[in-house]
Chain A
């Protein structure tokens, strides 16, 4: 096996040196009846050429990867500067472990410190951790954190939160004694209105919203924060489209207490759903309740600045069942990709990409709205994603659009809500050209008539 350095002769020599007669002897502590009598039923080893050919064949079956795409709903196609993949592919980053030995891990530690800093700046919060698995698990952890802070056992969650995120919250809290209440979005605006939380009581730990929400609508975070705080509850804001930070007022500036986001938009390929990276930020006063790793500044005896993992007593390896979370491995390399992305794009690049998203989505929405039989069900302002109501069933329409026009035009909402057969979500980013958008509009027009 070419990845294993020691040759059979070397191994024989080593065996001799430790006084063992055979490899089998090394496994004698495993009772004989538990040792596999024959080899595993997995294929025989393949050469590099064969392995690549096999994966190329399977990749070719993924037609969607080659299409013009307007898919969003929690995973977005944005431009990725070439240097992002180049830099994360450096051995020193991608083959390093968690930076437990700071003297020889300063590269990773400094990068995480920069990541934490930019997450704070984007979200408008005081303190951010070194990453969560993704936005959905980050949101579930935020709910658990709100319960720890307030010692209250109910959370009121907007139905404008990504339906898969809602499912993850339900899974995480099912044995934590936390009751999850749903608050419906307003049918006209598509927003979560403060009135939806009028029944909030003194047992509510937090209001949970997403902005822009699953339907693309920008929430009035400030009004919802006021509502939560009036009841002594926290406001948790989830953001699935992190690019919106480039244009929209930060949740922190609007009064949020915990902000979680899916950071995939920052330089991370779609990759069929992962690995992505969860951003997690909160107020200084809650820093000791934050889940996951934190990197802080430290100095050596000569006064030289470095960085270390800090406040580790919150974590599972020390506090065990009383830890703030069970998370250990996070999304280090993906957080690094996001860091490199944000530094390459910089202040102006993030602003411009965000602005282009909003302009192109606005153009697209305007054109689709003008089509006969199509409407936009919600009145609230949007960032780069919006719901469309078509004249025919969305599933069939989108399938034909893909087949005949090579365009993935959106995601039918019937996948998540059985009572919404004609609705679909359209997402537009800076990577979509006007030609692609016009193609989408023409396709929708022709095919909806044909159906």
Chain B
């Protein structure tokens, strides 16, 4: 069973968000990394790039697939996890920790309300796999 930490927000695109003040840290869930398989490359935006909610901010590649990743909230990127350039496998090994992807300065924190709780996300993935 995939790990779904209680303290995070989740999107239906399988991203998670950790709120730190007005900054949202974004990554992909354990469920998503498992479905992707061995991640071999992560393409991320630069600090300063702006995205609307649900817009694609980059992509994650496995050996034989490419998946886009979407930011659940709108705002400006303050930092991208450049360590993933050299060690994309962190996305598999530690999706909620060292595998984080971007930090984004939230434009409308109200968007968080529309995201899923851990329990809702668990139900969502269960329904999706069935």
Kindly identify, within residues 38 to 95 of chain B, every residue whose CB is under 8 Å from any CB belonging to chain A.
41, 61-66
Is A151 interfacial (CB 8 A cutoff)?
Answer: no
Is A60 interfacial (CB 8 A cutoff)?
Answer: no
Of B41, B62, B63, B65, the most chain A CB neighbours within 10 A belong to B63
The interface stretch among A241-249, A312-320, A397-405 is A312-320
CB distance from B68 to the nearest CB of A (A): 10
Specify which chain B residues have a CB less than 8 angstroms from the CB of A318 in the assembled complex: 64-66
Kindly state the separation between the CA atoms of A313 and B43 in the bound complex, as whole angstroms. Answer: 12
Specify which chain A residues have a CB less than 8 angstroms from the CB of B62 in the assembled complex: 313
**Chain B binding surface SS class:** strand
CB distance from A202 to the nearest CB of B (A): 19
CB distance from B85 to the nearest CB of A (A): 12
**Chain A binding surface SS class:** helix
Q: Which of chain A's residues has its CB closest to B43's CB?
A: A288
Kindly state the separation between the CA atoms of A441 and B63 in the bound complex, as whole angstroms. Answer: 59
Q: Which of chain A's residues has its CB closest to B61's CB?
A: A313
Specify which chain B residues have a CB less than 8 angstroms from the CB of A319 in the assembled complex: 66
Kindly state the separation between the CA atoms of A141 and B80 in the bound complex, as whole angstroms. Answer: 31
Specify which chain A residues have a CB less than 8 angstroms from the CB of B41 in the assembled complex: 288, 313
Q: Which of chain A's residues has its CB closest to B67's CB?
A: A313
CB distance from A71 to the nearest CB of B (A): 45
Kindly state the separation between the CA atoms of A312 and B61 in the bound complex, as whole angstroms. Answer: 10
Q: Which of chain B's residues has its CB closest to A319's CB?
A: B66
Kindly state the separation between the CA atoms of A319 and B63 in the bound complex, as whole angstroms. Answer: 12
CB distance from B44 to the nearest CB of A (A): 13
CB distance from B3 to the nearest CB of A (A): 26
Q: Which of chain B's residues has its CB closest to A312's CB?
A: B64
Kindly state the separation between the CA atoms of A312 and B62 in the bound complex, as whole angstroms. Answer: 10
Q: Which of chain A's residues has its CB closest to B66's CB?
A: A313
Kindly identify, within residues 12 to 41 of chain B, every residue whose CB is under 8 Å from any CB belonging to chain A.
41
CB distance from B56 to the nearest CB of A (A): 12
Kindly identify, within residues 314 to 369 of chain A, every residue whose CB is under 8 Å from any CB belonging to chain B.
318-319
Q: Which of chain A's residues has its CB closest to B63's CB?
A: A312
Kindly identify, within residues 259 to 309 of chain A, every residue whose CB is under 8 Å from any CB belonging to chain B.
288
Kindly state the separation between the CA atoms of A288 and B65 in the bound complex, as whole angstroms. Answer: 14
Specify which chain A residues have a CB less than 8 angstroms from the CB of B61 in the assembled complex: 313
Kindly identify, within residues 379 to 402 of chain A, every residue whose CB is under 8 Å from any CB belonging to chain B.
none
Q: Which of chain B's residues has its CB closest to A310's CB?
A: B63
CB distance from A313 to the nearest CB of B (A): 5
Specify which chain B residues have a CB less than 8 angstroms from the CB of A288 in the assembled complex: 41
Specify which chain B residues have a CB less than 8 angstroms from the CB of A312 in the assembled complex: 63-64
Kindly state the separation between the CA atoms of A83 and B61 in the bound complex, as whole angstroms. Answer: 42
Specify which chain B residues have a CB less than 8 angstroms from the CB of A313 in the assembled complex: 41, 61-66
CB distance from A393 to the nearest CB of B (A): 57
Q: Which of chain A's residues has its CB closest to B68's CB?
A: A322
Kindly state the separation between the CA atoms of A132 and B63 in the bound complex, as whole angstroms. Answer: 23
Kindly state the separation between the CA atoms of A313 and B67 in the bound complex, as whole angstroms. Answer: 10
Kindly state the separation between the CA atoms of A420 and B65 in the bound complex, as whole angstroms. Answer: 53
CB distance from B35 to the nearest CB of A (A): 16
Q: Which of chain B's residues has its CB closest to A320's CB?
A: B66
Kindly state the separation between the CA atoms of A312 and B64 in the bound complex, as whole angstroms. Answer: 7
Of A312, A313, A319, the most chain B CB neighbours within 10 A belong to A313
CB distance from A16 to the nearest CB of B (A): 42
Kindly state the separation between the CA atoms of A318 and B67 in the bound complex, as whole angstroms. Answer: 10
Specify which chain A residues have a CB less than 8 angstroms from the CB of B66 in the assembled complex: 313, 318-319
Kindly state the separation between the CA atoms of A318 and B41 in the bound complex, as whole angstroms. Answer: 15
Question: Nearest 8 pairs between A and B by C-beta?
Answer: A313-B61, A313-B66, A319-B66, A318-B66, A318-B64, A312-B64, A318-B65, A313-B65
Contacts beyond the supplied A312-B64, A318-B64, A319-B66: 11 A-B pairs with Cβ under 8 Å: A288-B41, A312-B63, A313-B41, A313-B61, A313-B62, A313-B63, A313-B64, A313-B65, A313-B66, A318-B65, A318-B66
Interface residues of A (CB under 8 A from B): 288, 312-313, 318-319
Between A and B, 14 residue pairs with Cβ closer than 8 Å are: A288-B41, A312-B63, A312-B64, A313-B41, A313-B61, A313-B62, A313-B63, A313-B64, A313-B65, A313-B66, A318-B64, A318-B65, A318-B66, A319-B66
